[in-house]
């Protein structure tokens, strides 16, 4: 049974190009002798779209990686006492990548995966950053990209 729990909490309900993605990694350890060998966050921004050719019923789908970053959240081999701990995460999202969005034509989603390797456990936590759906028909031609 794991003695360590990880959670990721984001400060905004979406990711915007040219702004910081801010989050907190919450770690709860029951073991008083925990030594964190590594605590890393991997952030990915992935675009997906798909459509059906109405003449052939053939389905077309595509996926593109727009953003990828890995961040160490603490120094290696850091001892921590039992209890609750918080690690800040701040990553600049470049201006030249799309913001997060959802529409009937596709999506751009940002995901944070945190992996903890310690002397007592190896645990991970995944969070798909929520995005705000675009329903406004005047934005349909843009595929909902918000810059």
18-63 pLDDT, tens digit per residue, is 999 999 999 998 888 889 999 999 999 999 999 888 899 999 999 9
Is 55 inside a domain boundary?
yes
Is 56 inside a domain boundary?
yes
**Domain of residue 35, residue span:** 4-140
CATH number of the structural domain spanning residue 45: 2.60.40.640
Is 146 inside a domain boundary?
no
Our count of domains for the chain comes to: 1
pLDDT at 13: 81
In angstroms, the CA 117 to CA 37 distance is 5
pLDDT per residue as tens digits for the range 75-131: 999 999 999 999 999 999 999 999 998 888 899 999 999 999 988 777 777 777 755
11 phi-psi bin (left φ>0, alpha ψ -120 to 50, beta other): alpha
Is 87 inside a domain boundary?
yes
Is 145 inside a domain boundary?
no
Q: For residue 140, what pLDDT band results from cuts at 50, 70 and 90?
A: very low
pLDDT at 134: 40
Main-chain dihedrals φ then ψ at residue 126, nearest 5 degrees: -110, 140
């Amino acid at each position: 049974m794991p003695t360590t729990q990880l959670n990721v909490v984001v400060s905004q309900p979406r990711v915007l190009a040219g702004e910081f993605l801010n989050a907190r990694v919450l770690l709860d350890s029951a073991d008083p002798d925990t030594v964190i060998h590594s605590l890393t966050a991997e952030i990915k921004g992935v675009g997906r779209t798909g459509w059906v050719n109405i003449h052939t019923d053939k389905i077309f789908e595509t996926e593109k990686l727009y953003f990828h970053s890995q961040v160490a959240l603490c120094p290696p081999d850091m001892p921590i006492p039992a209890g609750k701990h918080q690690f800040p995460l701040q990553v600049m999202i470049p201006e030249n990548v799309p913001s997060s969005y959802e529409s009937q034509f596709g999506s751009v989603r940002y995901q944070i995966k945190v992996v903890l390797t310690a002397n007592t456990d190896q645990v991970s936590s995944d969070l798909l950053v929520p995005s705000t759906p675009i329903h406004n028909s005047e934005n349909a031609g843009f595929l909902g990209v918000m810059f």
